[in-house]
Every structure is written in structure tokens, then in C-alpha cells.
Structure 1
């Protein structure tokens, strides 16, 4: 019991101070669990980071879940998740319940305007960073452009699934990775099949459930989106946009996304805000259900490959598939950068100038995200 409480407490403290998104979270984890506590080695931690980049789900939360799993088993993994997520959950739930977006006061309109401008800056930075990381070859650039083209022609959740499948197949077929070959048989022997079957079953069921089926529809919507998020928290934006656009207003949707930039902990708690707004008759139930649903797929996959991931990340086909998918999600995010992020935030040349200046400051000086939040909220009042 003491061990589980220690895991919870360590992650809870980090959940209270971890501003800055997944990259900052990874740095906090490294300092706490590798350097200070020595719960795992630098090499093992580096491999966990690599794994989080090529699996769907919330990258930093998956790393935390895996650390808790290695330290204290499944109970430790759950304790790590609850501890790291709880501070952000409480803040996002409070915003959802006590902020009236249907008849907003003047100060809220100003705050919302500032946060929307900040969202343009943050998403633009994410697009450029991901492009530089995942689109280094002509083929990967082609996959990115193809994903944009197909989504421009018909943007829907099922089009996004089709794009990811096409990108995965292209990556597997063209993979020329020189990594040491690991047989599929070796990997299969180490896979834990119960969580894998649960992951697949829930995903297939979620595809056939209407989002208007109250609790079940809410869970299904956030679960299927959590199953397809490659590349970090920002990528959930375009997926959620196409899935819940008819359930939440654009103002509710974008306020929840923008607010997630300014709270500590995982960005995926934007689902907390959206779930509470969605199920306004029972906001706490909606918040809990949406939060669990969007995190669950990534955690089920960690449980699936907990004993095989060191072999899996060396397999050329898996590496190729991951490269194709990552290139496609750059296209997803680039399209979302324009609509709804840019179109809903920038309405004048002054707005455009503020976004441009904010982006230059972010790239040149890398100020703490909390400072950026304060500056843009202040700008919203002018």
C-alpha cells in the first residue's frame, strides 16, 4: 500500500507543476524518476520515449503509466495515471461547470479571445516541429500532402481512418529500415492478448455507436478518438473536431482546447471539459466518462506490449508503419491549424500581428507556457 501511495504522490506533485505540454512532462519525468529516484535507467527511459512516439494515445501519460506499471504493477500504473491527471481534471471540470459559455460575460470573452490567439501560436509551432521530425523524405511529404488533399475533399472521422490506413500501408511497403530483424513469432509470444482484444473490441463497437446515445455515445466518441491519436495531444484536435462538432458549439470546443494549454498535466484533459459540457445534466459523470475513454486506448496498448515492446520497436515493418502514420497526422494538424484554429481566432490584421509576434517570441526565447498564457489573456482585453 505504501508503494502505491508513493507512486500516486510522486505523480500528483508532477501533475500540479507540469506546465508546458508533453515535451516538458518528459523532462520532469526524467529528472524525477531517472535522476532523482532511479526507478529506471536512462536507456530504459529513452526506449519508453521512443515507444510513446509510435503508439496512439497521450505520449507523456503513457510514459507515466508505464513507469507506474514497472514500479508497482497495474495498481501502480493506475495510481500514476490518477495522480498525474487529477489536478488538470479538477481545473478543467471547474471551468466547464462554472464558466457560462452560452451567455459569456465581457471578461470571459476577452480571456477566450486571448487563449484562441495563443492556440494559433501553439498549434503552428506543433505543426512545424512535427513536420521537421516526421516529414524528412519526399515520400513522407507526399503522405502528408495526400492526407490534406483527401480531408479537403471530404473531412470526416472515417476519412481520417482511411488516411491512416493508407499511410500505414505505404510506410510498411516502402520501409527500408536497417534495424536488426526481429521475428514476428518472437513478438507474438510476448504480447498480452486480453488487453489487445479489449482494445480492438471497444474500438469496433465505438464505430457503430451513435454519439447521441447519451453515456454510451459519449464514451464511444472519445474512445475512438483516443485510439487514433498519433503524435501527441495537439493531434486530438482535428479528430475531435469532426466527431463532436454537432454536439458542442465551436466556442465550447475551442475554449476547452485553449484552456488545456494553460493548465498543468496532460492536454488530453480537454476531454474533461468537453465531456462535462456535452452531458450538462450530469457534468461530473460526463467529465469522468470522457476522460477515461480518451486515455483508455493508449493504456490498453501499453498493457498489450509491456513485455514485447523492446522487440516491436526494432521490427522494420512496425517502424515503417509508424513513419507513415506520423507523416499523415502532420497533415491532419496542418488542416486543423487553418480551420477551426486560425479562422476562429484571427479576425483582423492586429490579431495576425499578435499571432506572428507571439510565434517569434516562442521560437526565439522559449518562455514558460504559463507566461505565454498570461500575456495572451492580457492581450485579449485590448
Structure 2
């Protein structure tokens, strides 16, 4: 497999440094990450068009696992091949993973960060970033009344029934309505998200399936602690839809209720995971490091981290070649149009809950959110600068 087109468009080092900055500054959870990615790769660097980015988000919404990380993986793959995919994942993931492993070693003395002023500031900043992304994506993806209706219905459903199953249902419903109701746009130049051969795609899907089936069997046969840890986190990454916060209760079942970790340790890490940048799936590194029986520490963290993200990489590589071909058919294009409109509804619902409900908790947080929105809408202040300023304001005034 290669990057987009006949030659790679960039270098692995370039991908690494861009994603490292995002990994250090992307607060706010998966919805905010999509907004940060759009600002970084569509608006600022123009590595892809808004339409291609929307297609990519729609693809990753269909798949289980950490959606924002999968979007980043494909952007890295598109830019610099397989090395770019690995660089994007490593650079975006490692900052928060390292912070959480360090926190695991000092959890007893770290205290509760949930009430920290700087954390309220960055949550307020996320409100502004996500609001801007919803507005910009709505302009592109819901340009007519029919698609506005699809987005509005999707948002309404998710505000009433907030669950991962409902989110998947909204995406499926959006695609169905698009197929039946929308008129296919005239086919454009195919927007290759990234070139992946059918052979590579089938191989990735085969590895994904074999691991999902074989790991529990091997654990039952050997009772090996390392295999057990791998199975827990691989199965979590392979089967959880919705990503982000959705993974946390599932991991609680797999670790605390299984007797591998005490509840207080889990809850302390839960608070810390929301205070660091990057994907929430790096909470797995904290849990791996904190296991009461081996492997734990850095080894346990490494096993858990790789195992929970591996299904995401295999799935996105496996599905990409088939996604590109389906998109060219008129019926598939109508489905994608409907799905893209539904994605706007999903983002709009998420903007309200949890982004606004958790980010705007006082007049002070509202003021910070408005200030960040103005700085992003009417100027070219970098997102990470705005986030740091919001954190400082929160620490000083909240």
C-alpha cells in the first residue's frame, strides 16, 4: 500500500511532528479531535479537501474503535504510506499514554484533578472548537433542505437516546434515507482517502478476525497473564462502538469487576484521562500499568496500549479499498451523502452533550468559550495557543 496517488505526498518525519503537536494539545475528547484535525489538515495545511475529510469521518464512524485515532491513521497513511500511519498513531497517542503511566506510578499522591480551574478552561475551549467545526461542516455537508432534515433528525434522536447503538443507528438511517430520498451528485474525481490494495485489505481483515477468535482460545488453554491482558484490551478495541468515553465503562467491567484492579485506582485514572490531551483510549495504558498482578508497569501499559489500538488500524486498512470502490456507484454516493448529513447531526448532538453540558458550567467558562470562538472565527490564532490561553484563564479565574 502507498499514500494517496502514485507517489507519497510527504514524509514520515513530517507526519510525526504534526501529529506530535496535536497529541500534546488536543484536549476535549474525540469530537474535539475531529475539529482539531480539520483545522490542521483541511484549513491550515490543505492536505485534503473538506469533502474528502468528511468521507473519512463517515468511514471511521462506521467502524468500532477510537474514531479520531482512525481518522489520524488514514491521514498519515495518505501522506506517507504505512510509515505515516504508524507515525501518526505513535505521535498522537504517546504524550497522553506517557502522562497516564506516570500518573499510575504516583496515583496516591496526585489527588483529584476534576475540579482544577485549568481543566475547566480547556473544556470551555473545546466548546468553541467543536462549535466552529459543526458550523463549517454543516455548510459543506448539508447545503440543501433534505440534508438539513437528515442532520436535524439525527441530532434529535441522539439527544433523546444517547447510546452507541443509537449513534450507529443514526448513521445507518442517514445512509438509508440518502439512498431512497437524495439525488446523487454528479460524480467527481474519486477522492482516494489512501491507496490500499485489495490484497492488503483482505489480509488486514483476516488478521483482525483471527486475533479476535484465537486470543480467548489461547487464554483458556494457557492461562497466560500477558495473553489475558492482550485479549481484554484487543476485544475492547475491536467491539466498542462510539469510542471515547464509551470505552471506559466497558474497561471497568473487564478490569474492576474481573478482580484485576480496585475501583478507587480505576476512578483516579478516569479523572486523569479526562485531563490529558490525545485519545481517551490511552486510558488503557494507565490500566495496564496499574494491574494488581503481572504484567503491569511499563510492560503492562505497552501491551494494553498496543492491543486496544491494533483493531482500529487493522479495520481501517481492511475496509479502505472497498470503501473507495463503493463510493463511485451512484447509489453508494447517495448513501454517503446521507451518512455525511447524519454525521453533522451526530456532531451537533455531541456539541450539546457532552461538550457544552460539561464545558459550560459557569459564567466564567461561558466567557472563555466565547473568547476562544471569536479568536478562531475572526483570526488565525492557532488552536493550541487558544487552548493554552484558556487553560491559563481557567486556572486564574475559575
TM-score norm. by structure 1 comes to 0.69
Q: Deviations over 1:38-78 (max 9, x none)?
A: xxxx9xx9997675355325335313213444xxxxxxx1x
Which among 76, 91, 95 is matched to residue 91 of structure 1? 95
CA distance in 2, matches of 1:359, 1:64: 28
Structure 1 segment 305-316 matched on structure 2, within 5 A: 305=322, 309=324, 312-316=326-330
Runs of 5+ in structure 1 lacking a partner? 32-41, 70-76, 183-189, 206-212, 229-237, 261-266
Question: 1:218: which partner in 2?
Answer: 233
Pair 1:137-2:135 in alignment: no
Runs of 5+ in structure 2 lacking a partner? 1-6, 26-35, 61-66, 190-196, 214-227, 253-265, 292-299
Three-state SS of the structure 2 residue aligned to 1:55 is helix
Task: Return the offset for 1:121.
Answer: 1.6
Pair 1:63-2:75 in alignment: yes
Task: Tell me: CA distance 1:197–1:291, structure 2 relative to 1, closer, same or farther (3 Å).
Answer: closer
CA distance in 1, matches of 2:142, 2:359: 27
Question: 1:36: which partner in 2?
Answer: none
Which among 354, 358, 370 is matched to residue 344 of structure 1? 358
Question: 1:12: which partner in 2?
Answer: 16
Task: Return the offset for 1:96.
Answer: 1.3
Q: Deviations over 1:285-315 (max 9, x none)?
A: 222222333343222223x34xx83x54432
Three-state SS of the structure 2 residue aligned to 1:21 is helix
Pair 1:276-2:291 in alignment: no
Q: Do the aligned partners of 1:114 and 1:380 also contact (CA within 8 Å) in 2?
A: yes
Q: Do the aligned partners of 1:112 and 1:255 also contact (CA within 8 Å) in 2?
A: no
Structure 1 segment 1-382 matched on structure 2, within 5 A: 7-17=11-21, 20-25=36-41, 52=56, 54-56=58-60, 58-69=70-81, 77=82, 79-99=83-103, 104=111, 109-179=116-186, 191-192=198-199, 194-195=202-203, 198=206, 215-224=230-239, 239-245=243-249, 247=251, 256=273, 259-260=276-277, 269-272=279-282, 274-279=283-288, 280-281=290-291, 282-302=300-320, 304-305=321-322, 309=324, 312-382=326-396
Task: Return the offset for 1:82.
Answer: 1.9
Task: Return the offset for 1:91.
Answer: 0.8
CA distance in 1, matches of 2:208, 2:112: 44
Provide the alpha-carbon RMSD of the alignment: 4.0
Q: Do the aligned partners of 2:208 and 2:311 also contact (CA within 8 Å) in 1?
A: no
CA distance in 1, matches of 2:366, 2:229: 39
Task: Return the offset for 1:199.
Answer: 8.9
CA distance in 1, matches of 2:19, 2:43: 13
CA distance in 2, matches of 1:202, 1:340: 36
CA distance in 1, matches of 2:94, 2:188: 46
Q: Do the aligned partners of 1:275 and 1:289 also contact (CA within 8 Å) in 2?
A: no
Q: Do the aligned partners of 1:179 and 1:315 also contact (CA within 8 Å) in 2?
A: no
Task: Tell me: CA distance 1:318–1:296, structure 2 relative to 1, closer, same or farther (3 Å).
Answer: same
